[in-house]
């Protein structure tokens, strides 16, 4: 009773059972096993909106996913690994980043869990290795994983545009709404508990610092959405090697993807599908690919596939700038001759110097006349 008297505000407690909603698409996903669907719900219980929380350990999942937990028996780590892999392949769960110590040892992973499967385009944005994972799992030793990976691969290859849908803007909008709601809640709290707030003001971080800390706690892949990727100068002077693939079966135009990207066939297909979906001309698309390759070579781009897609969407808006191509005209000449960006001729420095000498000689001859 003494504790109740100390309360300065009206207080509400919930003493019922906690309820969790389950996405209908999860229950209807024919690629997932029953254990994988249950594992999703277990993982989601631990998650909090836009706040980092501890991902269930393998030991915890071995207990929770066991069919004989009443006997204090665990399921195998192989089953846990298979279950998490199925959730990643179906894009209900995304591995964004891996934290390592100075010696390269894994400290932990950063995951995102979704209320619906991400599109391939968004999944690749958060995890650039997704298509590589999918391709490698088509040869996995586990039959279930292998069959699911093959089925998803066939669906992606047969689809033209359904996997190109992006909800990145919607995710950002949700996060901004979350920030605004937090700020509003803090203001309301300060109105109803002025004395309590003034008493502990020095111990509480300001709402502005909390927002910046929340941003720092987000996975690096989300923070990259708002970064302006610049300062990609290059002093190297190498020739770009390319591979040519027709990206539109109704067009004879070709696009050359520099081989330095080391993209897989699935990744190349994603790029060509995006170019076709954005309805970019072959000249603009080629300029984007060459510029992106030069920036990747210059350093500072950790996820080339994401960066190429970003530049293609920027080009669609008309905001793409050929920064390095224009900055290095000599390299631009060689790139154009390889990638067929344009047919205009560019004179080398030697030719320009020779012309300058001839002009000087002619000028002196005219003066002497």
Task: For residues 300 and 181, give the distance between their C-alpha atoms in angstroms, rounded to a whole number.
Answer: 35
In a domain, 5, yes or no: no
Among candidate residues 120, 149, 164, the one where a domain is terminated:
164
The band of 266, judged by pLDDT with boundaries at 50, 70 and 90, is confident
pLDDT in tens, 44-94: 988 765 556 788 889 999 999 999 989 999 999 999 999 999 999 999 999
In a domain, 213, yes or no: no
Number of domains in the chain: 2
Looking at residue 28, its pLDDT comes to 93
Task: For residues 247 and 259, give the distance between their C-alpha atoms in angstroms, rounded to a whole number.
Answer: 16
DSSP-derived secondary structure for 29-49: -TTS-HHHHHHHHHHHHH-BT
**Structural domain that includes position 93:** 24-164
DSSP annotation of 74 reads P
pLDDT in tens, 267-326: 888 888 888 888 888 888 888 888 888 888 887 787 888 888 888 888 888 888 776 666
Same domain, 114 and 250: no
The CATH number of the domain where 134 resides is what? 1.10.10
Same domain, 251 and 126: no
In DSSP terms, 95 is beta-bridged to 111
Same domain, 149 and 267: no
Nearest to 134 by CA among 63, 184, 86, 193: 86
Contact yes or no for 293/231 (Cβ under 8 A): no
In the chain, the percentage of residues whose pLDDT exceeds 90 is 20
Same domain, 122 and 251: no
- Residue 200 gets the label, from left (phi > 0), alpha (psi -120 to 50) or beta, of alpha
Same domain, 249 and 150: no
What are φ and ψ of residue 258, in 5° steps?
Answer: -55, 135
* pTM for the model: 0.50
Among candidate residues 115, 146, 164, the one where a domain is terminated:
164
């Amino acid at each position: 009773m003494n504790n109740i008297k100390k309360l300065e505000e009206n207080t509400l407690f919930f003493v019922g059972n906690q309820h969790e909603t389950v996405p209908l698409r999860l229950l209807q996903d024919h690629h997932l096993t029953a254990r994988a669907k249950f594992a999703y719900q277990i993982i989601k219980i631990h998650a909090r909106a836009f706040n980092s929380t501890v991902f269930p350990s393998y030991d915890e999942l071995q207990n929770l996913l066991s069919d004989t937990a009443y006997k204090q028996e665990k399921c195998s780590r192989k089953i846990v690994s298979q279950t998490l892999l199925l959730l990643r392949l179906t894009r209900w769960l995304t591995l964004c980043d891996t934290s390592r110590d100075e010696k390269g040892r894994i400290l932990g992973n950063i995951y995102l869990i979704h209320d619906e499967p991400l599109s391939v385009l968004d999944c690749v944005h958060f995890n650039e290795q997704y298509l590589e994972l999918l391709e490698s799992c088509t040869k996995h030793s586990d039959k279930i994983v292998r069959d699911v990976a093959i089925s998803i691969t066939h669906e992606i290859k047969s689809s033209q545009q359904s996997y190109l849908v992006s909800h990145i803007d919607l995710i950002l909008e949700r996060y901004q709404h979350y920030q605004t709601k937090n700020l509003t809640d803090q203001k309301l709290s300060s109105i109803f508990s002025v004395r309590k707030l003034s008493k502990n003001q020095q111990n509480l971080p300001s709402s502005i610092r909390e927002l910046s800390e929340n941003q720092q706690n987000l996975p690096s892949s989300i923070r990259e959405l708002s970064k302006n990727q610049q300062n990609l100068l290059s002093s190297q002077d190498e020739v770009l090697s390319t591979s040519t693939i027709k990206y539109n079966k109704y067009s004879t135009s070709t696009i050359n993807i520099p081989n330095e990207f080391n993209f897989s066939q699935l990744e190349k297909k994603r790029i060509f599908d995006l170019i076709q979906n954005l309805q970019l001309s072959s000249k603009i698309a080629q300029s984007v690919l060459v510029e992106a390759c030069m920036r990747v070579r210059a350093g500072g781009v950790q996820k080339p596939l994401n960066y190429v897609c970003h530049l293609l969407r920027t080009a669609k808006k008309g905001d793409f700038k050929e920064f390095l191509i224009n900055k290095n005209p000599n390299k631009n000449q060689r790139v154009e001759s390889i990638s067929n960006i344009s047919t205009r001729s560019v004179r080398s420095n030697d030719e320009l110097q020779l012309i300058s000498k001839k002009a000087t000689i002619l000028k002196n001859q005219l003066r002497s006349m």
